[in-house]
Amino acid sequence: MNRNFLRDKKRIVVKIGTTTITHVDTGHLNLVKMEKLARVLTDIRNQNKEVIVVSSGAIGAGRKALGIVEKPRSLSEKQACAAVGQARLMMIYQKLFAEYNQTIAQILITKRTMTNEISRQNAENTFQELLRLGVIPIVNENDTVSTDQIQDENFGDNDTLSATVAEMVQADMLILLSDIDGLYTDDPRNNDKAEFISCVEKIDDKLAACAKGTDTGYGTGGMATKIAAAKIANAMGADMVIANGDDVTNISRILDGKEIGTLFKA
């Protein structure tokens, strides 16, 4: 499918998975990739497009800062890691984006923010004003006080959250960066006969069956949560692409109409 129409997208939500901004072997933040990410997103903003980032990685960053070797299991330990990690994550984002004179903002929300009419309207107003001012909002779920993402796999790893944010701000594009090139008929890491799916025009039960869970020690979302996100985004009229975040310049290439990742057509 010709993807030149993606060049016309004006309001883009980009979800950054934990594996995109960390070294998988160690769990430490990958500063080189985060610097490239800041440069790519600022350049997109310089094209007079609006960008919202939904960033994972807070619990992982906090875990490493606290010297916790094993993946946290108790809720309180996860929340403590999130509290430490969110501050560290934003400090680094602030420093990197400042190098390109790009103002960012932190928005911490919960699932209840989306379901309460007044809270949702207030959040929407904040987003709209920040975008009007040329700011790039960086969103995460407030894991320190909310347990939805930590306990509910269906809310998983900010995938569904990013789609809900896209719906709330009426974005016309959602990009999910993951540790895989896109959607396959089976997990390509376990099945060398798995076939890549370039474009999805309808999400059905057969397609959902292709989804596999995550097997990394730092992320929490799998392909199932990404398909759930695609359903939300497509239903409100936004196209969505799942692409490999190993090369963050894929964001620019997607918005330039290149055939990168799996496109879920609205």
Question: Is residue 155 domain-resident?
Answer: yes
pLDDT of residue 152: 47
Whether the pLDDT of residue 215 is over 50: the answer is no
Whether the pLDDT of residue 35 is over 70: the answer is yes
Question: Is residue 216 domain-resident?
Answer: yes
Half-sphere exposure (Cβ direction) of 143: Cα atoms closer than 13 Å: 32
Question: Is residue 93 domain-resident?
Answer: yes
Overall number of domains in the chain: 1
Say how far apart CA 146 and CA 128 lie, in whole Å.
Answer: 24
Residue 112's contacts (CB-CB under 8 Å, 6 or more residues apart) are 119, 146, 148
- Using CB atoms within 10 A of its CB, is residue 204 exposed (0-12), middle (13-18) or buried (19+)? exposed
Question: Is residue 3 domain-resident?
Answer: no
Question: Is residue 127 domain-resident?
Answer: yes
Say how far apart CA 206 and CA 109 lie, in whole Å.
Answer: 33
Residue 150's contacts (CB-CB under 8 Å, 6 or more residues apart) are 59, 75, 78, 79, 143
pLDDT of residue 74: 86
| Helix axes 223-235 and 159-169, enclosed angle (nearest 10) | 10
- Using CB atoms within 10 A of its CB, is residue 132 exposed (0-12), middle (13-18) or buried (19+)? exposed
pLDDT band at 155 (very low <50, low <70, confident <90, very high): very low
pLDDT band at 189 (very low <50, low <70, confident <90, very high): confident
- For 3-30, what is the mean pLDDT? 92
Whether the pLDDT of residue 210 is over 80: the answer is no
pLDDT of residue 242: 95
pLDDT band at 193 (very low <50, low <70, confident <90, very high): confident
Say how far apart CA 187 and CA 62 lie, in whole Å.
Answer: 30
pLDDT of residue 145: 63
Question: Is residue 222 domain-resident?
Answer: yes
State the residue for tokens 């730092």: 218
pLDDT band at 217 (very low <50, low <70, confident <90, very high): very low
Whether the pLDDT of residue 148 is over 60: the answer is no
Question: Is residue 1 domain-resident?
Answer: no
Q: Which two tokens stand for residue 236?
A: 């409100």
Question: Is residue 97 domain-resident?
Answer: yes
Q: Which two tokens stand for residue 89?
A: 């994550």
pLDDT of residue 188: 79
Assign residue 257 the CATH number of its domain.
3.40.1160.10
Whether the pLDDT of residue 209 is over 80: the answer is no
Flag the least confident range among 27-36, 125-134, 136-145, 210-219: 210-219
State which residues form the domain around 58.
Answer: 9-264
Flag the least confident range among 40-49, 99-108, 137-146: 137-146
